[in-house]
């Protein structure tokens, strides 16, 4: 299958380069990067500093961790793309050739090097290798999909893939068969390549290729998927190789700790404390206000706060963890001392002064050695620090409760602090079962702030990267505080709610009070064919989620835009394909319509209903066959902007008609 004779092979010379050359003068010329995308076959041979080595590794790790978080949270491909866009731009930008950016060369070098740095860091165990390969493949896929079409083509052409373009001679010999086999319609490019059928089992399974004596003739549109598969395959075999070479890496004692730190960071990606986490400028943070703010604290700190209030005492590591956190949110040293003094109400002043005062001052860098003073004391602990330090023992309360508590006790603790949603707790239980502690914490955060997050997103109040995964307790507090005070902190420029008035709500149709025995209700999904991803997520996804949860069935058409996005969304949410029926209009005169491709849907397990007629007839049938609509009609103003000169006053879209038809049907029913 592999046309290049060697899998990514690190030969002895290059291995040596990897080990040492980063720090010495490069013996090899810097590589060129003619393409934005990279298969990372050849290890880097140029010169990087130890700092770059670590910094670039961490940046890529951040990207991979966010990608993984998307997956843990079941984001759809479109949601993932949207979520990742600002994160990629910030941590691992990769410009196209056409952008003519002066950064292109450096960006690509960083991309190349950081990939290899992590490859080394994660090649030690099978688990890490698999995880890394999975995430890198996702990243590759995400990027190649976003690539400029021309540049993508030239990248793919440059790959030493084990396929061969079908010659014109062969093409003309099999043309009809090729077209019939690959579902190639008039408007499609008449271009195919061939490979061993074992390389494309999923296409064979769906009869989307022409087979001849074990060779599969594949339409070019499938190329990208194959490139991604090949990337994944090569990376996996490359990682295995690296795994075998790793022991020798230990020889370089300067690299070892960096690599160790990076692989540690895969447990929970590390985040440094940012000064900006302090809210002292915008909020009045003092000893007396901590009780009030503690509602915004992450569970680790809320737990310490509750224990402190309950026992009027905390053990050493708990005090340290909490003190640093309070310092981080902007509590100054004097107020901090006051806070602890009041909290230890059973303690004499003398004992407090002799045993605790010094430690607090030390934490703030008020006392201690030069280094401590210069560094203004200790830095507040990150999630990673809390997740990797030794577990607390008898009576100690520090650390991350998602990790240190047994699942049952954790659930009780969450319920005690007011987290009671069953589904949410179920998700938390799953997360901690899989040791995804920071995901559990983020899950709780998102649930507690879901309305505010929605608002921020819908109104683009914050840069999207400000809503990434939380990896630091102080970041948790800051974000919680800002979200809960959106109205007060904004300049007052808060938009009104979007045009949701046209949406027939599933709630009105009995989603919440549905008797179990009844046949599931059927939602008719319709909408504009030129809807954007953003509009879809704004106007459909939460509606659909409600309907999915309620166990309803769905019908939709084959139209582009809303229907297609909805179909993919439903499937991505794990909706059984048999719960979805695709309605296909088959014009009475087939010459006027395209071919009816039922198999495209049935092959995916979807139900198909063919309506003889045009889409108008189809829609009538669909309204009849359903109980309510999930649709969105674009407001008139927006339509004007979108259509420009083509805009016609009084034009009624199919979606609007669906809505009106439903209203009419309902009133007729009522009249009876």
Partner 1 sequence: MPHAVSPERESAATPEDTTVEDAPTQEDNPGGDDDVDMADALAEPDTKPAGNALEDMFDDDDEEEDEFSSSAPSRPDNSSQPAAPISTKFSDPENLRQFYQRLCPFRPLFQWLNHSANPQPDFTNREFSFWLPGNKVRRYLSFPSADLLKRQCVQMTPERFEIGPQYSVNPKDRKTIKNASAFRPIMKELVFDIDMTDYDPIRTCCSGTKICSKCWQFIVMAIKVVDAALREDFGFQHILWVYSGRRGAHAWISDKRAREMDDSKRKAVANYLEILRGNENGKRLGLRRPLHPHIARSLKLLDPYFQNEVLNDQDPWQSTEQAEKLLNLLPDKSLTDALKKKWDSSADRSSNQKWIDVNSMAEAGSLSTLSTTQLRDVRQDIRLEYTYPRLDAGVTKTTNHLLKSPFVVHPGTGRVCVPIDMRSLEDFDPFAVPVVTDLIAEIDEWDQKQGANMSDEDRSKVQDWQKTSLKSYIEYFKGHVASLLKEEGKGKRGREDEGMEF
**Residues at the interface with partner 1 (CB under 8 A):** 176-177, 179-181, 183, 197-198, 201-202, 204-207, 210-215, 588-590, 595-602, 608, 610, 612
Report the nearest approach of partner 1 to the CB of residue 362 (Å): 51
**Sheet architecture: strand order including 522-525:** 607-612, 580-586, 553-557, 522-525, 628-630
- Rank residues 518 and 589 by Cβ distance to partner 1 and give the closer one: 589
40 in the Ramachandran plot: left (φ > 0), alpha (ψ -120 to 50) or beta? left
> Minimal CA–CA distance to 88: which of 110, 71, 72?
110
- Residue with Cβ nearer partner 1 (41 or 603): 603
- In angstroms, the CA 454 to CA 450 distance is 6
> CB of 563: closest distance to partner 1 in angstroms?
19
What span, in angstroms and rounded, lies between the C-alpha atoms of 386 and 400? 6
The H or E element spanning position 318 is helix 316-329
Give the separation between CA 66 and CA 87, rounded to whole angstroms. Answer: 8
Nearer to partner 1, 395 or 590 (CB): 590
Least separation in angstroms between residue 240's CB and partner 1 is 17
For residue 21 the two structure tokens come to 């050359």
Token match 């009816």: residue?
A: 596
Nearer to partner 1, 466 or 599 (CB): 599
- Cα atoms in the Cβ-side hemisphere of radius 13 Å centred on 120: 28
Q: Select 283 or 596, whichever has its Cβ closest to partner 1.
A: 596
DSSP 490-539: S-S--PPP-SGGGPPPGGGGTSTT--TTSPPPEEEE---TT--HHHHIII
- Residue whose CB is less far from partner 1, 211 or 347: 211
Run of H or E residues at 585? strand 580-586
**Min separation Cβ 434 and partner 1, Å:** 20
Q: How far is the CB of 177 from partner 1 (least distance, A)?
A: 5
**536-542 CB contacts, 8 Å cutoff, 24+ apart:** 536/78, 536/562, 536/565, 536/566, 536/569, 537/78, 537/79, 537/82, 538/458, 538/498, 539/498, 539/500, 539/503, 539/632, 540/565, 540/566, 540/569, 540/630, 540/632, 541/79, 541/569
64, 69, 74, 75: CA torsion to nearest 10: -70
Nearer to partner 1, 321 or 558 (CB): 558
Integer angstrom CA distances of residue 607 from 19, 131, 554, 583, 600: 57, 35, 10, 9, 11
Q: Are 522 and 627 in contact (CB under 8 A)?
A: yes
Nearer to partner 1, 178 or 544 (CB): 178
8 Å CB contact between 579 and 606? no
Q: Shortest distance, CB of residue 440 to partner 1, whole angstroms?
A: 29
Among candidates 134, 209, 202, 138, which has minimal Cα distance to 177?
Answer: 209
**Nearest distance in Å: CB 267, partner 1:** 25
- The smaller minimum CB distance to partner 1, of residues 588 and 641, is found at 588
Backbone angles phi, psi at 24, to 5 degrees: -115, 180
In angstroms, what is the minimal distance from the CB of 665 to partner 1? 24
Nearest approach in angstroms of CB 607 to partner 1 is 10
- For the bound state, the minimum distance from the C-beta of residue 212 to partner 1, rounded and expressed in Å, comes to 7
At closest approach, how far in Å is the CB of 584 from partner 1? 10
Nearer to partner 1, 126 or 260 (CB): 126
Strands (E), 242-355: none
d(CA 247, CA 120): 11
Query: How many other CB atoms are found less than 10 A from the CB of residue 16?
Result: 13
Pick the closer one to partner 1 by CB: 275 or 589: 589
Residue 209 CB, shortest distance to partner 1, in Å, is 9
Question: Least separation, in Å, of the C-beta of 245 and partner 1?
Answer: 22
Q: Which is nearer to partner 1, 46 or 243 (CB)?
A: 243
For partner 1, the closer CB: 181 or 428 = 181
């Amino acid at each position: 299958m592999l046309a290049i004779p060697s899998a990514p092979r690190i030969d002895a010379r290059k291995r040596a380069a990897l080990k040492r050359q980063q720090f010495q003068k490069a013996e090899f010329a810097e590589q060129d990067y003619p393409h934005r995308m990279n298969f990372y076959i050849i290890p880097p041979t140029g010169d990087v500093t130890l700092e770059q080595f670590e910094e670039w590794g961490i940046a890529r790790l951040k990207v991979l961790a966010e990608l993984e978080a998307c997956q843990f949270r079941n984001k759809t491909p479109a949601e993932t793309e949207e979520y990742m866009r600002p994160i990629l731009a910030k941590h691992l930008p990769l410009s196209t050739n056409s952008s003519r950016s002066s950064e292109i060369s450096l960006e690509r070098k960083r991309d190349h090097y950081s990939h290899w740095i992590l490859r080394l860091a994660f090649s030690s165990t099978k688990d890490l290798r698999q995880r890394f390969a999975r995430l890198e493949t996702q990243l590759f896929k995400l990027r190649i999909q976003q690539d400029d079409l021309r540049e993508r083509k030239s990248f793919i052409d440059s790959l030493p893939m084990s396929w061969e373009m079908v010659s014109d001679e062969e093409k003309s010999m099999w043309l009809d068969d090729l077209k019939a086999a690959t579902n190639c319609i008039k408007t499609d490019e008449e271009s195919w390549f061939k490979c061993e059928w074992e390389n494309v089992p999923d296409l064979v399974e769906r009869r989307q290729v022409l087979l001849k004596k074990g060779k599969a003739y594949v339409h070019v549109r499938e190329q990208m998927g194959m490139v991604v598969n090949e990337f994944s395959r090569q990376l996996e075999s490359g990682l295995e190789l690296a795994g075998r070479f790793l022991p020798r890496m230990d020889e370089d004692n300067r690299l070892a700790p960096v690599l160790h730190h990076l692989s540690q960071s895969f447990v929970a990606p590390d985040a440094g404390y940012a000064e900006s986490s302090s809210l002292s400028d915008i909020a009045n943070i003092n000893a007396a206000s901590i009780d009030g703010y503690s509602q915004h604290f992450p569970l680790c700190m809320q737990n310490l706060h509750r224990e402190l209030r309950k026992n009027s005492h905390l053990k050493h590591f708990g005090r340290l963890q909490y003190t640093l956190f309070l310092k981080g949110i902007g509590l100054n040293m004097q107020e901090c001392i006051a806070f602890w003094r009041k909290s230890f109400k059973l303690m004499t002043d003398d004992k407090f002064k002799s045993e605790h005062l010094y430690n607090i001052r030390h934490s703030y860098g008020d006392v201690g050695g030069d280094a401590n003073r210069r560094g203004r004391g200790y830095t507040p602990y990150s999630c990673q620090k809390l997740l990797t330090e030794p577990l607390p023992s008898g009576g100690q309360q520090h650390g991350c409760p998602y990790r240190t508590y047994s699942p049952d006790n954790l659930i009780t603790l969450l319920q005690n602090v007011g987290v009671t949603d069953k589904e949410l707790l179920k998700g938390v239980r799953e997360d901690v079962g899989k040791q995804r502690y920071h995901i559990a914490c983020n899950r709780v955060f998102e649930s507690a702030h879901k309305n505010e997050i929605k608002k921020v997103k819908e109104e683009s109040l914050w840069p999207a990267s400000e809503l990434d995964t939380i990896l630091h307790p102080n970041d948790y507090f800051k974000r919680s505080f800002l979200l809960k005070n959106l109205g007060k902190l904004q300049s007052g420029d808060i938009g009104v709610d979007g045009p949701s008035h046209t949406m027939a709500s599933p709630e009105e149709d009995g989603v919440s009070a549905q008797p179990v025995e009844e046949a599931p209700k059927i939602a008719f999904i319709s909408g504009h064919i030129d809807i954007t991803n953003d509009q879809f997520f704004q106007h459909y996804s939460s509606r659909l989620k409600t309907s999915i949860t309620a166990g309803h069935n769905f019908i939709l058409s084959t139209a582009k835009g809303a229907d297609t996005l909805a179909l993919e969304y439903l499937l991505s949410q794990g909706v059984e394909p048999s719960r979805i029926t695709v309605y296909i209009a088959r014009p009475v005169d087939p010459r006027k319509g395209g071919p009816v491709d039922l198999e495209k849907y049935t092959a995916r397990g979807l139900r198909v209903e063919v309506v003889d007629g045009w889409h108008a007839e189809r829609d009538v049938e669909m309204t009849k066959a359903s109980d309510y609509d999930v649709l969105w009609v674009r407001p008139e103003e927006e339509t004007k902007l979108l259509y420009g000169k083509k805009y016609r006053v009084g034009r009624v879209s199919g979606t609007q008609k669906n809505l009106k038809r439903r209203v009419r049907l309902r009133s007729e029913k009522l009249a009876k």
